[in-house]
Amino acid sequence: MNVSTFALLAAVSALGVSSAYAKPAIGQPAPDFTVVDANGQSHSLADFKGKTVVLEWNNPECPFVKKHYGAGNMQKQQADATAKGVVWLSVNSSAPGKQGNLDGAGANAQLAKSGAKPTAYLLDADGKVGHAYGARTTPHMFVIDGQGMLQYMGAIDSVPSADSEDIPGATQYVTQALSEMGAGKAVSVSVSEPYGCSVKYGS
């Protein structure tokens, strides 16, 4: 193998690695995934083609997550969205031994306790889905249209605090994006800075 051939193969190899972890971008295809939920059922993004999908990164022990669940804000958004045919997937990327990690039984108990209403609660303990999306915080939100294109990513709302009293005065970015998409409009705020606890990846 000559030097130029080696260099070409190295470049192709590097491209493959970088593309596997390419950052998601608005208006581009959202990374596909296959992962099991709290009931052991497998879900892929491709399964929901034709439907709007919301991804919500979740860690029930995070104060910022408790803010939105304690006030009922997240549950209301879940219920309102799913009633309109939106698929809402809560994703837990906390690694074993890390804050917020849950097994199926623990996740179902947490759902019952909080009154959460996602379509499914996905267990991403190896962090593959989280890394594919570049999920950084809990919560970190993503909205994907029926063609599989990413339309929103960022915070759930416009006030980065752990105080539930801030919710009424905040712009609810996910609700706003879903409303605009439902009306056939462009999403007015498609990217925002996520806030919350860091996702507790294993690596």
**Tens digits of per-residue pLDDT, 44-71?**
999 999 999 999 999 999 999 999 999 9
pLDDT tens readout for residues 160-170 = 999 999 999 99
Q: How many domains does the chain have?
A: 1
In the predicted model, what is the mean pLDDT of residues 92-121?
97
Q: Is the residue at 143 inside a domain?
A: yes
Percent of the chain past pLDDT 70, that is, above it, reads: 90
**Tally: H helices and E strands in the chain:** 6, 9
pLDDT tens readout for residues 2-21 = 333 333 333 333 333 333 45
Q: Is the residue at 33 inside a domain?
A: yes
Instruction: Give the model's pLDDT for residue 3.
Output: 35
Query: Considering only CA atoms, which of 20, 47, 25 is closest in space to residue 34?
Result: 47
Q: Is the residue at 111 inside a domain?
A: yes
Q: For residue 94, give the CATH number of its domain.
A: 3.40.30.10
Q: Is the residue at 10 inside a domain?
A: no
| Distance between CA atoms of residues 117 and 54, nearest Å | 12
Parent domain of 181: 22-198
**If you count them, how many residues does the chain have?**
203
Instruction: Give the model's pLDDT for residue 21.
Output: 53
| Distance between CA atoms of residues 179 and 52, nearest Å | 11
195 has a pLDDT exceeding 80:
yes
Of the two residues 2 and 197, the one the predictor is more confident about is: 197
The 10 Å Cβ neighbour count of residue 61 is: 16
